[in-house]
Structure 1
């Protein structure tokens, strides 16, 4: 090749190479305004131990330091009291800092007169157990809660006799009694008394205006809460759908869901804005409020005066009769970089733990339904919510996706909370723009975090090829990675910028921070998670180092006061099994495919009795012991195992009645959509007898009945008592049987109402039943089985 042709070819190759790189830019040089707090009139902020909780217009504070906690919803009155202690500790182990719960008025005062605070309604014991688990508490007082409850949780006798949700004197007299009762239950348990209750929410989804309503009503309810002794550091209200409240007296909290099961659509929805970064507003779209407002709410005008707090980022979705969305773990977890990258400074989930509605004293349901004027039809009993922890404490796959980000916030939230959101040079035109990269930076000074999301539920995004990021900071520009990378469809991540790792400056990493360990003689270890499809680069003063994600990889990066500092990159499989637990006076990594938590100073493991219970611990425990425990050292990991226990008990299944013709599904109600069939329709349900073995497994902590059916609605009875119900959506249905006190050999009945082929019901395409030619309905039991669950405790 002559010189002229060689130069031409080189220019062509250079042009091709230049075109292959996509440089994404953001200017993060502007100074972050200093926070201010004089505009907020909240409650008692100091504990007897001298610890102080407060808020400014940017973030929450704990003892004067920025605080970015994780909050998870768990409804005590929708769960067996026997499970509370373990479940609260499981939430703590998952990186949750605050447990939130509604106080459903109609769960405690179904009829006029005495309140019921016993058994599964024992609010005081629930809060005490939360404190023992190391959790703070936010009580959502109502009086109107929504929460898919009948009349939003307001008792029938109140709704029948008086106006509600306004400053009506008769209504306020009853609310005064409710709040006084709650105050008595929580006496001595507030933050100012050394207790865990740090906040209360007033009302819910309140956007009603007019005489006796609006901010006047919220101000009145707050005054009633204070009269009841509920003097706490934080008062909140929900901030979406045109909410109204007295500015400066309460903090608005926000939310978002990956789909809208309350919608009337029978098809896939357009891309939700919960998967798109927000730079101009904190208010997400429709969150299912039952009242509507045409004007802008207080939250829109209050943006510069209060921090961006979340309370209802859906960790799952509720079951609605007309729309049965089934979300994937990535649908949920991909929201986290988006919300944090949009400025959220309290990551609050609804729901984090599923439950079941209590049945009213009269046998009537306490669920939301169109028959009682609600916007939605919901199951009589089930409140599973596809939550990370199921109604009986089952660990769902989504939990393994959420935990690493919770641990990141526990370790680095103090750094992140004061950081401002930086809008990239080019952003999507809106949630429906699926081509433009979705990302943001939060920074303060030269430190920051880069947030990226390439996942949208039911709308695959293209891979972004040849990507590099250019972040302009006051002290200079950070360009990463060292070479262009391809970001796969479905990827989402958080990368650090100029992160101080115990005195060693990490210029950037293309891996996600998780936690920090003090490993004694080994030194200090900073744990990172890999980014799928992207090599893990760690940019240090002496250059860029790359680690493989094939397994745990350790890299020495420097010294801190004479001690070595390392980064540890986990594999994707290790990350899914990771628990970060305080055990034997030290933070440790505990890898387990089952559930792991700490109680009474011991490591607790819980999982199917038909499988070995396993965990790997780092740093190792000094002398772990438990009956039947096998201990092995595997390099740096200490492996703990119990052999498989009981086999799967036999369940005798017998068909007892074939299905009759299901009635046509009618449309109507406020949504003019599919209505749940009337009770008489279940006369045509197919039924099966489910006979339990005798004896039941003696060493099983619980026995899960798992039912796999195809139909419209499933119900399980013990005699005439309904134990649980379920709208078919393709999700496994499990029921913990121990709570019901069933006798060995007891016989249950399963009924399945047929699903009609013409039912105007949305079910995700992957689970929508096929109806062969001529078949107009389906009621099929594919399997029913019993899964014994066991629990072991290891003394360290």
Structure 2
């Protein structure tokens, strides 16, 4: 594949139109880009036995000497049963993730001093080997303090209670050394230099402590210890949060941002988040947790010219904490991608990408204010509203972010070396919702324009009469030809001088690049439309034809206008040498159903609403609640068989469509009231935040309770069975006998519990308890989801309990 890293002005005719109008949004991208600096960071062995090499310079990562812009997703192995790892890692890889990040949570492995547990769900080696089999590289976040919304940040009780932590205390360091030594034995042979998937380690987390035996010296001590113990990897990182301290050159900082602050204390909605505003200077976000304020200068601020802008914690969702319980919409998460990429991010790392659950051992692993934590979280639940939730089901955010992953898989190497260009006019700050929010990244005369008008909980204006002018070394690109209105809540990436086959190129487009696929009929470049924005293309080629719109010649360019997006929106392009290319413009809804999978030794695009689980040369699809399966492929399949009959329904534009149907299964549960709610005590104010704190355990004596009996046959012979609970209250808890198997803080969403993993234990009735929510509780709930109850009232209501069946379909292609 040929990438446009910089198209020489002498070989192209740039799309220079008439002078930009006064209302045109202009960016000057003519200045020279800084050359990447190498040799600044003290790295480990970068080359694998196969010769593959991972590097880093002052601007971007490299893979085998070429620019690399990967997607990284966090998944904690100890928070998901080991029996589910293979399928979950396959789904993560199929969704466009390149690197898997995981915390090493000390308390899971050495709950009792000197007694290490690496078995079952704690089998780190098995987890990393499984990730490697699925083609995922691994970033091991060593800690020893990791936070992870877990008790004492993951440091065992016996350590916390007997010695200073998070500093160069000799006894503490001896215990860290012993734990890391045990960890190194588990991963021996799995490092990049051994041919394994582990490419990096993170030292500590959210570290901004200054004092005796603390500060940058402690991070240096930990890194030296890790290296001496054998953690010789290409990349060493530390979180670059507000006021962070670290030894420069020894590690590179990584950054992040979240769309809300459940750790905050306001009981009303927050001001517009800076996460949705393009950054043209500092990389440090002020909304990363209780320890960050967005103002204090740390070591990361002075390291910008020497280190790339890498992300590790851009919210894939957010946790639900007791005092603040915001609910994310898909756009709240997806709109962050063009903003952060347009701000220069060259590694997009999600926290979390896959939710999970906390184990219960000698204690719970719950972060709670009663033991000095800043936050209260559920005892078990760590769903995080992530792309894949606690039980592995895809949350609605997944299809909204996956198109950006496909974009980066194809054009990440083009984007990574591009320089951020600041528009002539920008919003005055993150609260300015009037001025257009956009940026451009360029290398030579090629580039991408990034735009966002979505800000969680705030409606921005329609931007009327918009045209862009990008001044490049070879001339100015003005587009689109006609001024357009961009509705509120839109976000996208548009190409400028994007290479196609041969000498053809896409001078500009008002549609977002999705991916590029090879078919028997030739290469296809796939774009998708922004809802309610006209699709226009400007193409540099010898000839351009289409049946889906109008084509007109304009100097050196062919203009395609009025294109109706869909599977038949095909534009045929031929260059002077006879090289043929096709451009396909899908709708946004269609693009959100596309995955890129390998079938029959070739990459194909798979369009489906089902979850996609690659299994070697086969595929497994999961349909949540619907016995019908519908999928389409590009190119068409030569042969496909399934665990259920698969029927070809013919061509749908460039795609070929197929269907299959499972036998519908329906079951009901028996729900019986055990006891009504008592009067809940007032919510206490306290803790380090001096805000609402979780009620004492004794308060649950006032909880209403029900028994829930699940028919034994309900979970047999199906992919999974979900218990869906519609309820209103403060805290819900679900038990088998006296064993707590799940819990939730009420936030207005349906509470879903997948039952497959509980197996034969479901022969016992479940017990559901709901602690009443008081009308005067000083907690935050999204306005649309907050119960309408008076200050002197309370509610503990169970509205419905349903069983919903999930269906599976195995596909083979031999």
Does TM, normalized by the shorter one, top 0.5?
Answer: yes
* Kept in 2: contact 1:552–1:571 (CA 8 A): no
2:467 is aligned with 1:475? no
Segment drifting more, 218-227 vs 720-729: 218-227
Which of 575, 600, 605 is the matching residue for 1:589? 605
CA distance in 2, matches of 1:560, 1:183: 58
CA distance in 2, matches of 1:488, 1:209: 47
1:729 corresponds to: 747
Superposition pairs of residues 197-208 of structure 1, within 5 angstroms: 197-208=198-209
Deviation at 1:578, TM superposition (A): 1.2
1:792 corresponds to: 809
Deviation at 1:562, TM superposition (A): 4.4
Relative to 1, partners in 2 of residues 1:476 and 1:700: Cα closer, same or farther, differing over 3 Å? same
Deviation track 1:266-305 (CA, whole Å, cap 9, x = no partner) reads 0010000000001010001131144889852110000000
1:170 corresponds to: 171
CA distance in 2, matches of 1:291, 1:550: 45
Segment drifting more, 439-448 vs 614-623: 614-623
CA distance in 1, matches of 2:586, 2:150: 43
CA distance in 2, matches of 1:21, 1:689: 68
Which of 565, 570, 578 is the matching residue for 1:549? 565
* Kept in 2: contact 1:22–1:465 (CA 8 A): no
Relative to 1, partners in 2 of residues 1:333 and 1:548: Cα closer, same or farther, differing over 3 Å? same
2:118 corresponds to: 117
1:517 corresponds to: 517
Deviation at 1:791, TM superposition (A): 1.9
Deviation at 1:775, TM superposition (A): 6.1
CA distance in 1, matches of 2:711, 2:393: 23
Relative to 1, partners in 2 of residues 1:249 and 1:561: Cα closer, same or farther, differing over 3 Å? farther
Deviation at 1:708, TM superposition (A): 1.3
Which of 598, 613, 616 is the matching residue for 1:600? 616
2:535 corresponds to: 536
Deviation at 1:744, TM superposition (A): 5.5
CA distance in 1, matches of 2:753, 2:762: 16
CA distance in 1, matches of 2:642, 2:472: 53
Superposition pairs of residues 609-648 of structure 1, within 5 angstroms: 610-635=626-651, 636-648=654-666
2:188 is aligned with 1:187? yes
State the secondary structure of the residue aligned to 1:466.
strand
* Kept in 1: contact 2:643–2:810 (CA 8 A): no
CA distance in 1, matches of 2:158, 2:715: 45
2:584 corresponds to: 568
* Kept in 1: contact 2:465–2:483 (CA 8 A): yes
CA distance in 1, matches of 2:516, 2:812: 24
Deviation at 1:740, TM superposition (A): 2.0
Deviation at 1:597, TM superposition (A): 3.0
Segment drifting more, 604-613 vs 715-724: 604-613
| Structure 1 alignment gaps of length 5 or more | 1-17
* Kept in 2: contact 1:617–1:639 (CA 8 A): yes
CA distance in 2, matches of 1:191, 1:121: 22
1:50 corresponds to: 51
Relative to 1, partners in 2 of residues 1:296 and 1:610: Cα closer, same or farther, differing over 3 Å? closer
* Kept in 2: contact 1:581–1:597 (CA 8 A): no
CA distance in 2, matches of 1:71, 1:763: 30
State the secondary structure of the residue aligned to 1:350.
strand
Segment drifting more, 238-247 vs 615-624: 615-624
* Kept in 2: contact 1:21–1:468 (CA 8 A): no
CA distance in 2, matches of 1:125, 1:543: 54
TM-score normalised according to structure 2 size: 0.93
State the secondary structure of the residue aligned to 2:149.
coil
CA distance in 2, matches of 1:144, 1:728: 29
* Kept in 2: contact 1:21–1:484 (CA 8 A): no
Deviation track 1:42-65 (CA, whole Å, cap 9, x = no partner) reads 111000000000100000000000
Deviation at 1:771, TM superposition (A): 1.3
Deviation at 1:630, TM superposition (A): 2.1
RMSD (CA atoms)? 1.6
CA distance in 2, matches of 1:323, 1:293: 20
Deviation at 1:618, TM superposition (A): 1.5
State the secondary structure of the residue aligned to 1:144.
coil
2:27 corresponds to: 26
Deviation at 1:365, TM superposition (A): 1.2
CA distance in 2, matches of 1:110, 1:427: 52
How many correspondences in the alignment? 775
State the secondary structure of the residue aligned to 1:536.
coil
1:416 corresponds to: 415
CA distance in 2, matches of 1:294, 1:529: 39
2:545 corresponds to: none
CA distance in 1, matches of 2:208, 2:98: 29
CA distance in 1, matches of 2:625, 2:441: 45
* Kept in 2: contact 1:704–1:737 (CA 8 A): yes
Deviation at 1:210, TM superposition (A): 2.3
Relative to 1, partners in 2 of residues 1:289 and 1:49: Cα closer, same or farther, differing over 3 Å? farther
* Kept in 1: contact 2:72–2:100 (CA 8 A): yes
Which of 673, 676, 687 is the matching residue for 1:655? 673
Deviation at 1:682, TM superposition (A): 0.7
2:777 is aligned with 1:759? yes
2:759 is aligned with 1:741? yes
* Kept in 1: contact 2:720–2:805 (CA 8 A): yes
CA distance in 1, matches of 2:125, 2:59: 32
Which of 733, 746, 749 is the matching residue for 1:715? 733
* Kept in 1: contact 2:20–2:469 (CA 8 A): no
1:579 corresponds to: 595
* Kept in 2: contact 1:207–1:292 (CA 8 A): no
* Kept in 1: contact 2:644–2:809 (CA 8 A): no
CA distance in 1, matches of 2:468, 2:293: 42
CA distance in 2, matches of 1:552, 1:405: 22
* Kept in 2: contact 1:609–1:700 (CA 8 A): no
TM-score normalised according to structure 1 size: 0.95
Relative to 1, partners in 2 of residues 1:749 and 1:282: Cα closer, same or farther, differing over 3 Å? same
* Kept in 1: contact 2:647–2:660 (CA 8 A): no
State the secondary structure of the residue aligned to 2:352.
coil
State the secondary structure of the residue aligned to 1:516.
strand
State the secondary structure of the residue aligned to 1:146.
coil
